[in-house]
Chain A
Amino acid sequence: MQINSISFTLNGAPRQALAGETILQVATREGIEIAHLCFKEGLAAEGNCRACMVEIDGERVLAPSCCRQPSAGMNVQSDSARAVAAQRGVIELLLSETVPATQVGLAPAHDELRMWARKLDVKTAKFPARAQPKADLSHPAIAVNLEACIQCTRCIRACREAQVNDVLGMALRGADAKIVFDQDDAVDQSTCVGCGECVQACPTGALSSKISAKSTQSAPQVLGKTVASVCPYCGVGCQLDFHVQGNAITHVTGRDGPANASRLCVKGRYGFDYVASPARLTKPLIRIAPKNARYDRVPENWRESFREASWEEALDFAAGGLRKLRDTCGAESLAGFGSAKGSNEEAYLFQKLVRVGFGTNNVDHCTRLCHASSVAALLEGIGSGAVSNPVSDVQFADVVIVIGANPTVNHPVAASFIKNAVKAGTQLIVIDPRHTELARHAAHFLQFKPDTDVALLNAMLYTIVDENLVDEKFVDERTENFAALKVNVQGFSPEAMADICGIPAAQIRHVARLYATAKSAMIMWGMGISQHIHGTDNARCLIALALATGQIGKPGSGLHPLRGQNNVQGASDAGLIPMMFPDYQRVDDPSANARFEKMWGTKLATKPGLTVVEVLGAIEAGVVKGMYIMGENPAMSDPDVQHARAALAALSHLVVQDIFMTETAWLADVVLPATAWPEKNGTVTNTDRLVQMGRKAIDPPGDAREDLWIINQLGRRLGLDWHYDHPRVAYEEMRQAMDSIAGISWERLERHSAVVYPCNDETDAGQPVVFVENFPRENHRAKFVPADLIPAAEQPDTQFPFVLITGRQLEHWHTGAMTRNATVLDALEPSATISIHPDDLQRLNCAAGMRLRVASRRGAIELIARVDEGTPPGVVFIPFAFAEAAANTLTNPVLDPIGKIPEFKFCAVSVSPC
């Protein structure tokens, strides 16, 4: 018997309820069915549908079993005549109110109301029907058919309790009560972010997904399969189910993974049909026309520049060109960009190919463009580049600082956990030049001036020193170099910094106190911190804040750089970086080098390789002549793209492996058609250090091949005796090279889908919170590294008076290769916009929706004005996903000296009407 269990009687038999269990939960566990509609596991029980009524001895009225916890000795009947009459009465009333969901396009299995009606043998509704509302089909993905609505509010709770998007509500009252979006607005006119959590929660199909409705209508009888996998987009790592019929994904639902609790965002739920885009590459292609680097976008007739080839020919051609350069110009004439969107196994094999097959460390990927500076600062100060605590730890934090990050857009499900914490009492401090959606939930929103991070953060550090808020014990026992920090911050009083960063001194002091004195506090940051030439300094300040106050190394206290891509953590872990082997073992460390030479059975280069932007420079300098680029799009993602494109075009041999004709593939000599995420097996590692299993749901189109197979084939053609026939083979080898995942076997991942590292052996559950006892530096102490003010490389002036910030938007992923080929996402954000403050727009004599020309010293683009009060005057924001107005045409290719990350978050531009 369980401790703390309660004995009671249900339907005549003795039962045990665990602490906190409701009667309905006990019944379900015991296999007793009680009708229920408004209750859904994971959402708060509301008890409003009244279908689950039970009779309790001694009580005047019946009780809702979903809300009521049994007490000792209680005698409960769910099957008494009175209880059943009430259950049936409720079901009959709801039947009389609604039209079956089948009539609105969903499979009958989804109609929980009619399922219970069948089970309770309620055949017809004797009551007069209600007048039915009109359907709202305005949104590209979400259909609203309120004629099937039973007002159970599951959608509202999904929208407001789980996702905290606060879009859905119940308007009016009584029989007129109605589910509404915002102010009863059409969905597409509302603030709905399209996450579809409401659809997933709806028991009757009143809210449904248009895509699934369409697919199931076309083949309602075909029994499909469900494949458990992981979302291919951001670093949050939401688990999901691909629902498959034939070789088509019909829809996607959230799985209860550790990082998402069944939640998804609009990209994860509705951004999957890029895999079926007619634009997919299906045949290997070999260039037949000269390269043209001067383009705004890939021309419509791109096919005329290539010819189709067999895999044999294409692989021979691809490998042959690389081999020839290696053998004639030397290993340093080659470089490879792997992908943070591929699997760990692909990343591992890719870097091994470059290191062993090419013979160079010139291997990098897009981490260089996102968190390279954060990782540099973390490795320097803490000894590890990964997060100290998972996102979900915000629930244990009294204070959460989110700085330079817009998680409601870029990490929507992570943002939902932050908002959940706020609802439960956590104080949120948002620090950002732009007023983001998260700012509404913040106790303190500091809209500071762009580029003044160090001023603001040092002023907070000053306050902590000045007001004796330092955790002396922690500093003494676990850190070094605090004296230097203390001296350095003397010049940064909040009073002196207030004008520089635009935040009143009192507010700086207040939030510093709040953070320092909190029982537990997390700092989460994004690209707003990292993408500056002082990105490493910015991160150093955040680390110093945590160290000075002892806010690290315990639940709810730590540092969390929100990782951008689904596998940017894993790709970095796997050694897809020029200065490190897998597990951050430095290539110039003799012992590490020896370890890998032994393991890989070959001599390895000891010189760290070139980073992403450095490679482009090396091409211009004539050093690098050949490249292998897998699933990356530097021709869109790198700063000053016209320049980057020219460099890529100058390569004598460029091999690109991708699923679409990207801007980069357009410059290739040979294009290898690869697989999309749902078309292969493999593991990915999320921002929480959670290694998760992705499973193949569908076959790739045409002749497209699995990426691992392609890398393996190229390796063989470069003279390596490779037999990586299955990701498991690569994974198990990787495990030998990486102590962090030593305990996570492929079988374990197949079984559990997710295991967090560090994980020492098969019995280790994994450690979600690290640095509890020491830091992985040589002396086990973390190090303070002081930072001074360094202004952005390019300041606004009369010719280029605006500051440009680039970034992402909710619907579009990175350079848009996938999302702009996803119909729903494309419909929601069809083309490029520039967010600009209404006052600036007025000064330009322009109106919202007008076409503007934006120019920098490097180029110009044209796009539509989106008036946005959240963007401060003097600043404009442009997402970089749109090829027809590539934001990186404008950006400044200057680098942070340590992290080698470009300054995407600050350059000077002019804005004028077209």
Chain B
Amino acid sequence: MQTARIPISDLKKPRATPKGRQIAPQVRAEIVGLLGEKPRDRQYLIEYLHLIQDANGHISADHIAALAQALKLSQVEVYEVATFYHHFDVLRDGDAAPPAHTVRICASIACAIAGGQLLFEDLKNSCGADVRVMHAPCVGQCDHAPMAVVDQVQIKTATPQKIAQALTLPRASESTSSSIPAAQISVPEGAFSAFKNFAEGGLPLAQLIATMKDANLRGLGGAGFAAGRKWEIVRSFEGPRAMVVNADEGEPGTFKDRYYLERNPWQFWEGVLIAAWAVEAQTVYVYLRDEYHDLRRAMEAQLTALQMHFPALAASPYRLPQIEMRRGAGAYICGEESALIESVEGKRGIPRLRPPYIAQAGVFGQPTLAHNVETLYWIPEILRKGAAWWRGQGRNGRNGLRSYSVSGRVKTPGVKLAPAGISLHELIDEFCDGMLAGHSLYAYLPGGASGGILPASLANVPLDFDTLQAHDAFIGSAAIVVLSQRDRVRDAALNLMQFFEHESCGQCTPCRVGTRKAAVLMAQENWDEKLLSELSQTMIDASICGLGQAAPNPLLTAMKYFPQEFAR
């Protein structure tokens, strides 16, 4: 009991600042300069992180603190978003800035079987200290495998030589809209006829919806939900309503949306306008994956042209909704519509639980219509040609057209607009000039990474919605990856599981932990099939979204259809 009254004080030094990281004035000035007059609204957080990343090649801890202050957010609110997306190089205190150049080698299945891994290792050894070589998930050019991306420039059928050459050019992010073909940024004569007809009252809303239902156009992002029905549901909830356009195609093997956006963007935009009008959406958010840099520049220019083409005059019958572009940042999960909405709002792209469905409460809580690019693309054409035209397409008892993204061991990979319900055999023979020389069909992925792996013996099954479930597979976005006798399905399955592990948002236990455990187990020489099956069931039954629910499909179908690969 001889302790003095005042315990310590002089011995311990108090903090010389308020709690937490303080912001250097010059960094604050840098951020204020970058943001300029832009709204200090957290929904643009990801856009602003891009500004910093593009300007600096990285995002420092000071940047994050200063950006947080500018947006009246806490640091963690910015940090957790920045670190969620793989395209942001977030530095912690003391971290060295990344090298001046980044070369991303696609690690996804089509590029992997086309020598992507060899290319990666080659570059790792050959590139200097100013170049960072890393793996990346599918960049949406699977018909040009192996793919590389040098900074923001995509290199098709990449070789070390092509990459070395690209590295000598000025930084890709500096390329401007001047490189965009003029046809892509000026509205062509006669465009938007279906939209104008509708907007001028030539086509009543009820008839529009009836036409869509009659055509039975289904969601071509992969879910296959009927577009007309979706409009009705969204309309049943009181406005204001919103629309999101899912241009985040990230399913490995899928590149059809890019295909249409490059070749006929105006038909896509027309579809956007019609769908937005159909549900009276006041705001449209077009969420484009970050990998499509050229496309983003083109679409931004198109949007400007569109707004000039339909000026916002009170008297104009063509009042446009407010349309905003949103730039993804390297997250496959944002292709899931509710994760995409979170990302549109400037947050981590983690899927929401349903109910409520986004039709009821979507972006900023508004009833929201979500459409894939290709779905929108076909709307004007169906309106011009009639529902019967669309319905009249198809094969093997199926209706409509599908854009199959074909890659892998075929002679001419690419986007194949073919009748829905075509079989793989027919697709390869009629649209892809057959298998590559020396390759014979062994297996195929009917629906990208998620749709399972089917054996050659099932190459006669119609490829469409609803036709593959019986075989524990699904079509999804119709990303067909063809494997030959030179490929091992178990390698493909592991590649796909590693992809899911890489892309899991981490929200729910079955997917976050399950994908990693599965990837570890599948990397072992002997698969513990019982444990993997058990794990798969938990993932299928208990994951929040389609990613975790579908992630076991490749491994389950591999074990089911290719037992020879697992024989001990």
Partner-B contacts on A (CB < 8 A): 46-51, 53, 61-62, 64, 67, 82, 85-86, 89-90, 93-94, 96-97, 126-128, 130, 150-151, 165-177, 180-185, 189-193, 277-279, 282, 297-298, 300, 302-303, 440-441, 660-661, 820-821, 826-827, 829-833, 835, 838, 848-849, 864-868, 870, 882-884
Contact = CB atoms under 8 A, between A and B. Distances in A.
Interface string B69-80: 000111111011
A174 B74 contact: no
A369 to B, nearest CB: 22
Nearest to A885: B9
Contacts of A832: 9, 14
Contacts of B543: 50, 61
B1 A62 contact: no
Given A173-B504, A175-B501, A191-B21, 13 more contacts: A50-B543, A51-B509, A62-B542, A82-B541, A89-B538, A93-B513, A94-B509, A166-B73, A169-B76, A176-B506, A831-B14, A868-B18, A883-B6
B6 A820 contact: yes
B506 A151 contact: yes
B538 A86 contact: yes
Interface of chain A, main secondary structure: loop
Contact of B501 (A53, A174, A191, A866): A174
A183 B80 CA distance: 8
A94 B65 contact: no
B5 A173 contact: no
A821 B3 CA distance: 11
16 contacts: A53-B542, A61-B541, A62-B541, A89-B538, A94-B513, A96-B513, A150-B509, A174-B512, A175-B515, A183-B65, A185-B20, A192-B19, A279-B5, A298-B5, A831-B8, A866-B16
Contacts of B501: 174-175
Query: Which residue, B6, B8, B79, has most C-beta atoms of chain A within 10 A?
Result: B6
Nearest to A182: B75
A297 B16 CA distance: 23
B502 interface: yes
Contacts of A849: 13, 16
Interface in B452-474: none
B6 A191 contact: no
Contacts of B6: 297-298, 300, 820, 883-884
B552 to A, nearest CB: 12
B83 A171 contact: yes
A825 B445 CA distance: 61
Contacts of B74: 165-167, 182, 191, 440
Contacts of B517: 93, 96, 127-128
Classify chain B: how many residues form its interface, as a range: 35 or more
A93 B10 contact: no
Contacts of B504: 173-175
Contact of B549 (A61, A128, A660): A61
B20 A190 contact: yes
Nearest to B79: A183
B4 interface: yes
A97 B514 CA distance: 11
Interface of B: 1-22, 25, 61, 64-65, 72-77, 79-80, 83-84, 92, 331, 333, 348, 353, 501-510, 512-517, 520-521, 531, 534-535, 537-538, 540-544, 549
B17 A848 contact: yes
B340 to A, nearest CB: 15
Contacts of A883: 6
B348 to A, nearest CB: 7
Contact of A90 (B353, B506, B510, B520): B510
Contacts of A180: 76, 79-80
Nearest to A53: B542
B455 to A, nearest CB: 26
Nearest to A67: B353
A831 B16 contact: no
B71 to A, nearest CB: 10
A353 to B, nearest CB: 28
A177 to B, nearest CB: 3
Contacts of A165: 74
Query: Which residue, A51, A169, A182, A826, has most C-beta atoms of chain B within 10 A?
Result: A182
A582 B18 CA distance: 42
The 9 lowest CB-CB distance pairs between A and B, nearest first, are: A89-B538, A177-B506, A191-B20, A849-B16, A830-B12, A166-B74, A169-B76, A848-B16, A278-B3
B19 A193 contact: yes
B76 A830 contact: no
A17 B543 CA distance: 26
A94 to B, nearest CB: 6
A180 B75 CA distance: 11
Contact of B506 (A174, A182, A297, A870): A174
A48 B14 contact: no
Contacts of A183: 21, 61, 64-65, 75-76, 79, 92
